[in-house]
């Protein structure tokens, strides 16, 4: 049963759940569509999304940020997220991570987005009160692009927040680096998906000196 807990923010143009061969393989054998549900304590602005262990599945009808207010990090930390991206069917959009999120439930949210595009491009941009400023952009061979009709591709995004710099990684390769003062990474960590993209995010891990916290839902352990 798909349900929306009270803490999920939902604006019309809801999520479309996609049934694909890959998703069937990723989901546990005993999972059914009726068991998918909106993630507890996660906020989607402006749309809903659903748990499909491992991870979440969503199709953004408009650009959307997804976050749990408790998924925060400061100081030295690392984030890694594995995602499967399906055929965008002509949509030239981006998906990725957000860091340094603050006041995300207000009319003046602040975060930095690290996103990859359909053609192997990327951008790092700061968003304050819905005004976006590019900090860095380009194209890197480490980013696997979507290729051809019904294409499916996996990319692993991440960043490393150090004492003086923040490094941005795709598939284990550093593709960009910015001064920490420019990024201001302390705050909420989450996801951002552009309009029309169909994705399955299987992991979102935050690693600090205290260890690694896995925020994506996982399949039930086999008995």
What is the value of pTM for the model shown? 0.78
User: DSSP strand E in the chain: where?
Assistant: 43-45, 50-51, 56-59, 64-73, 77-86, 94-102, 110-117, 121-128, 131-139, 152-161, 165-170, 173-179, 187-193, 198-201, 205-208, 211-214
Write the pLDDT tens digit of every residue in 17-66: 333 333 333 344 444 444 667 777 888 775 445 677 888 776 655 688 99
- All structural domains of the chain, each given as residue ranges with its CATH number in brackets, are 67-211 (2.60.120.200)
Distance CA 16, CA 223 (A): 32
Beta bridge partners of 112: 99, 126
Q: Which of 21-35, 76-90, 154-168 has the lowest mean pLDDT?
A: 21-35
Mean pLDDT along residues 190-200: 89
DSSP letter at 216? S
């Amino acid at each position: 049963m798909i349900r929306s807990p009270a803490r999920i923010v939902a604006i019309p143009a809801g999520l479309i759940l996609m049934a694909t061969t890959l998703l069937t393989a990723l989901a546990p054998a005993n999972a059914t569509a009726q068991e998918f549900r909106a993630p507890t304590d996660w906020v989607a602005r402006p749309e809903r999304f659903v748990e499909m262990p491992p991870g979440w599945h969503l199709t953004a009808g408009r650009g959307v940020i997804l976050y749990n207010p408790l998924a925060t990090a400061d100081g030295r930390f690392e984030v890694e997220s594995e995602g499967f991206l399906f055929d965008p069917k002509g949509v030239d959009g981006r998906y990725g991570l957000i860091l340094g999120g603050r006041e995300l439930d207000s009319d003046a949210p602040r975060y930095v987005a690290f996103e990859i595009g359909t053609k192997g491009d990327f951008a790092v941009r700061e968003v304050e009160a819905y005004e976006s400023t590019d900090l860095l952009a380009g194209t890197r061979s480490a980013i696997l692009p979507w290729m051809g009709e019904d294409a499916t591709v996996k990319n692993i995004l991440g960043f490393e927040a150090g004492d003086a710099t923040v490094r941005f990684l795709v598939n284990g390769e550093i593709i960009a680096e910015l001064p920490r003062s420019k990024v201001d990474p302390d705050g909420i960590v989450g996801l951002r998906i552009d309009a029309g993209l169909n994705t399955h995010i299987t992991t979102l891990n935050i690693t600090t000196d205290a260890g690694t916290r896995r925020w994506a839902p996982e399949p039930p352990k086999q008995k």
